[in-house]
Amino acid sequence: MLKLANALIAVVAGVGGTVVLFWAMNKAVEALPEVWENRLKPYVFIGPALIVVTLFLVYPAFRTIFISFYDDRSENFVGVDNYTLLFTDPGLRMAITNNLLWVLVVPAACVAFGLLVAVLADRLTARFESISKSLIFTPMAVSAVGASTIWLFVYAWRPAGTAQIGLLNAIWTGLGQEPIAWVQVSTLRLNSFLLMVIMIWLQTGFAMVLLSSAIKGVPTETIEAARIDGATEVQIFWRVTIPQIMSTIVVVFTTILIAVLKIFDIIFVTTGGNFNTDVVAVRFINELFQFRRFGLAAAIVVVLMLATIPVMVYNVRQFRQQEAR
């Protein structure tokens, strides 16, 4: 109760305080001569944000890079030892391989399913289109931790002979098989793929919404023209629609790609990185808080950051190009 009141006061005071701050600074600048008002005004509004970003994002990033060249306790300089270990340690190599697997599968699957739903729903009546799209979109409202918990129930295992509470095992034992602890089966990376299903389930709605609006934006003249020229529906889809929504596809793909590079919660909740499902971000948390190897943990995030930045730059550029149209 006290905590709730605390939070409430914090939110009210925080929001109110910030509004007052901006209002007061705005007033102060407005009191200046007009030349100076125009010169300073942008900085009044962007300044606090810049300071906050520098303090909480840029500085820690450089500090992390610095620490990644030091030992466990950040006391002695060790050169690139942490980076060497990063690529030779079997556990970390496993995590990197799994991340690559996620990157290969999840964004592509989300775009493919999102596109499929968007195209098919486009052909339904308006009522059914909105119903089906809402259904697909609902998982977006569930947090990754919540979704993982839900899917853990789907994959749940109970000893043979007792009631199977997991959907998958209920079906499986219904077919006369012995129950299987699905998240433990690392043969052919089955468990990793089962965990990817969770991410795809979460993100398909996002892909669908953006792609659907892009499809609706495709000028009907182009499609009609193709039709008159005798193109089949499949040809229209691949040769007319897809090229025109390509920039949206790229933005959706890269946005999900960035989320997948940083994937953490699903694995942390379901397997904790066990059974060969470990990924880089989970490994980082373990190195930092369980093993207390600060240098190695820093090296992991630096590599993760380096992997994410190009994708992000590309993503922002694409988004700008799309906006510019």
Partner 1 sequence: MRTGHRRFRIFSLVALLSLLAAACLGGEGGGGTADGTEGGGGGGSVEIMGAFLDDEAEGFRTALQPLIDEGVDVTYSPTPDFDTLITTRVQGGDVPEIALFPQPGLLLDVADQTDSPPVSEYLDVQELEDSLIPGFLDSATNADGDVMGFPMRMAVKSALWYPKPAFEDAGYEIPETQEDLQALEQQIRDDGNTPWCLGMESGDATGWVGTDWVEEYMLRLHGPEVYDQWVSHDVLFDSPEGRAAFERFGEVWQTEGNVVGGAQGLLSIAADASTAGLFEDPPQCFLHRQGNFATAFFPENVQENLDENVGVAYFPEDTSGYDGRPVLAGGDLALMLNDTPAARQTMEFLAQEEFGEPWAEIGGWLSPHTGFDASLYPTEVERDLFQIGAEADVLRFDASDLMPGAVGAGSFWTGIVDWVGGQSDLDQVLQGIDQSWPSQ
For binding to partner 1 (CB under 8 A), which residues are involved? 2-3, 6-7, 9-11, 13-15, 17-19, 22, 45-46, 48-49, 52, 71-72, 89-91, 157, 159-160, 179-181, 184, 186, 268, 272-276, 286, 290-293
Separation between Cα atoms, residue 183 and residue 186, nearest integer Å? 8
Closest distance between partner 1 and the C-beta of residue 48, in Å?
A: 6
Closest distance between partner 1 and the C-beta of residue 278, in Å?
A: 9
Residue closer to partner 1 (CB basis): 47 or 217: 47
Closest distance between partner 1 and the C-beta of residue 146, in Å?
A: 16
Residue closer to partner 1 (CB basis): 229 or 323: 323
Closest distance between partner 1 and the C-beta of residue 56, in Å?
A: 8
Q: Which two tokens stand for residue 255?
A: 């946005």
Q: What is the signed CA dihedral for 220, 226, 230, 233, rounded to 10 degrees?
A: -70
Residue closer to partner 1 (CB basis): 94 or 223: 94
Backbone angles phi, psi at 142, to 5 degrees: -90, 135
Closest distance between partner 1 and the C-beta of residue 262, in Å?
A: 18
Residue closer to partner 1 (CB basis): 48 or 146: 48
β-sheet bridge partners, residue 264: none
Residue closer to partner 1 (CB basis): 125 or 290: 290
Residue 207 · residue 111 · CB < 8 Å: yes
Q: Which of 59, 144, 51, 67 is nearest to 106 (CA)?
A: 144
Closest distance between partner 1 and the C-beta of residue 211, in Å?
A: 23
Closest distance between partner 1 and the C-beta of residue 275, in Å?
A: 5
Closest distance between partner 1 and the C-beta of residue 20, in Å?
A: 10
Residue closer to partner 1 (CB basis): 125 or 162: 162
Separation between Cα atoms, residue 192 and residue 194, nearest integer Å? 5
Closest distance between partner 1 and the C-beta of residue 21, in Å?
A: 8
